[in-house]
Amino acid sequence: MQKNTKPDNTKEENTAQNTNASDGKIGGLGSQKDALTALFLKENRNFAEVFNRTILKNDPVNSEELSTEDIRETATIQVTENGCITLTQYRDVVKRVKDGANSLILGIENQTLDNFQMSFRVMARDFINYARQVRIASDQHKKEFKEKKDIRESVQAEEFLTRGLVLEPEAEWSGEEDNSEKIPEFPKISNAEYVGRFYQSDQLIPCITLVIYWGEGSWSGPKRLSDMFGDNKWAAYAPDYAIYVLEVQKMTEEEILSYSDDLKMVFGCVRFSQQKKELERFLIENKDALRRTSWTARNVIVEMMGSVKLKELFFKNTVVEGKEDYTMVQALEEMLADAKEEGREEGREEGRREEQKNTEREALRANKAERELAILRTRMARHGLV
């Protein structure tokens, strides 16, 4: 059984493809936000810090022990005796950490919009990682079985030649094989282990995925698979699958300040991007940290804040005019200054509009008074009072 589809532009769909096909490439480019946040979080220090402060607080990972994994995860699953299906998922960022005998797979998915099937998507990504691990163990055992069989047949053939065909004149052979010393002793396995090609001693590496939600408001997508079951009366009996979601817009300032400079300023600027007064205060109080941010972090801030003015200022001064000493502090200060001026201009324009409305209201009142006076004069004239 073989099924072929192409991965979509957002890297969100699992694909099934012919095992004989070439690897191919992602069928499109993600958004600028996706690209920049993925690049920013690929840095081991940032990657480890996010996990250590959200999920792995009691068992933190060492950033120096992280190794980058391929974002394209593929697993081949046997569905019939002669057929298989190959599933592929693309992660934004995925890394492996090894601490002694313990290993762990960590993945990050960036979201700027709610995704109402996210718990299923995370489960699918993790499943493919586990399926790949099972397949690797299974293939390794198949290889071991074949090697053991070849060794046994080789030893038995040698024994037969020695005892059955080229016996020394004085040698006697009872006709019973005794190759206990020549055939190596292999660990015994059960029928279940042999049939399943997976030993009781085999272990999987845990896989944890963190969804970082950069969008406005609270995450309204599912946080566990059961959220997608609705009011189904049998939902409670189905195995559940919970996911981890970090909501940037819901972070407290205390949480934000606990991070190192790059993550602190990225989270802080995104968190307060729609609150001009709070953003200005945050930037003033953390001006030194902002000056120390990396180039990658600055690009994330510029993109994620969604300010056209900030983009124009940063691009104009750093790229067009080549000002090497132009800092993010200056860009944000100029953006806020422009925003204040725009606010003042909006206030003045609002004042002018209100003044115009007042003038129009006065004119309407005057016209109404004149009409009423004219009517009164007409009535008085009818009665000979004028």
Does the pLDDT of residue 254 top 90, yes or no? yes
Query: Tell me, what's the pLDDT at 145?
Result: 81
Nearest residue to 128 via CA among 85, 189, 174: 85
Question: What's the pLDDT tens digit per position in 293-305?
Answer: 998 998 899 888 8
**Which is more confidently placed, 16 or 279?**
279
146 with 194: CB under 8 angstroms? no
Higher pLDDT, 89 or 6: 89
Bridge partners, 101 (sequence order):
none
Is pLDDT above 60 for 8?
Answer: no
What does the pLDDT read at residue 320? Answer: 66
Neighbour count for residue 33 (Cβ, 10 Å)? 15
Q: Is the pLDDT of residue 4 over 70?
A: no
Of the candidates 212, 165, 187, the residue with the CA atom closest to the CA atom of residue 51: 212
CA 375 to chain centroid:
75
Give the number of other CB atoms < 10 A from CB of residue 353: 10
CA distance 126 to 120: 10
Q: Rounded CA gap, 78 and 160, in Å?
A: 39
User: 56-70, 91-105, 159-173, 347-361: which has the minimum mean pLDDT?
Assistant: 159-173
pLDDT at 156 over 50: yes
| SS3 at position 353 | helix
* pLDDT higher than 60, residue 170: no
Instruction: Check: CB of residue 11 under 8 Å from CB of residue 222.
Output: no
Cα–Cα–Cα angle for 119, 122, 128, rounded to 5 degrees: 140
Q: What is the mean pLDDT of residues 27-42?
A: 77
Q: What are 175-227's pLDDT values in tens digits?
A: 455 544 555 555 677 888 877 888 888 999 999 999 999 998 899 999 999 99
pLDDT recorded at residue 339:
65
Contact 113, 30 (CB under 8 A): no
Measured CA to CA in angstroms, residue 377 lies from 281, 363, 366, 370 at distances of 65, 21, 17, 11
Alpha carbons 87 and 131: distance in angstroms, whole number: 9
What's the confidence (pLDDT) of residue 157?
Answer: 63
pLDDT grade for 120, boundaries at 50, 70 and 90: very high
Helix (H, G, I), strand (E, B), or coil: what is residue 102?
strand
DSSP label at residue 187: -
* Helix boundaries (H) for 114-188: 118-160
* Res. 23: pLDDT tops 90: no
pLDDT at 342: 62
Residue 126 has pLDDT above 90, yes or no: yes
Question: Among 50-54, 275-279, 345-349, which stretch is predicted with the lowest mean pLDDT?
Answer: 345-349
Q: What is the pLDDT of residues 219-232, one digit of tens each?
A: 999 999 999 999 99
207-213 and 244-247 strand pairing: parallel
Chain-wide mean pLDDT for the chain? 80
Give me the phi and psi of 110, to 5 degrees please. Answer: -95, 135
pTM above 0.85, yes or no: no
Helix (H, G, I), strand (E, B) or coil at 162: helix
What local confidence, expressed as pLDDT, does residue 25 receive?
A: 31
Q: Output the six-digit token pair for 247.
A: 């909501």
Cα 58 to Cα 98: distance, rounded to the nearest angstrom? 16
Q: How confident is residue 280, by pLDDT bands cut at 50, 70 and 90?
A: confident
Assess contact for 269 and 304: CB atoms under 8 A. yes
Q: Report d(CA 7, CA 15) in Å as an integer.
A: 6
Confidence check: pLDDT of 117 > 90: yes
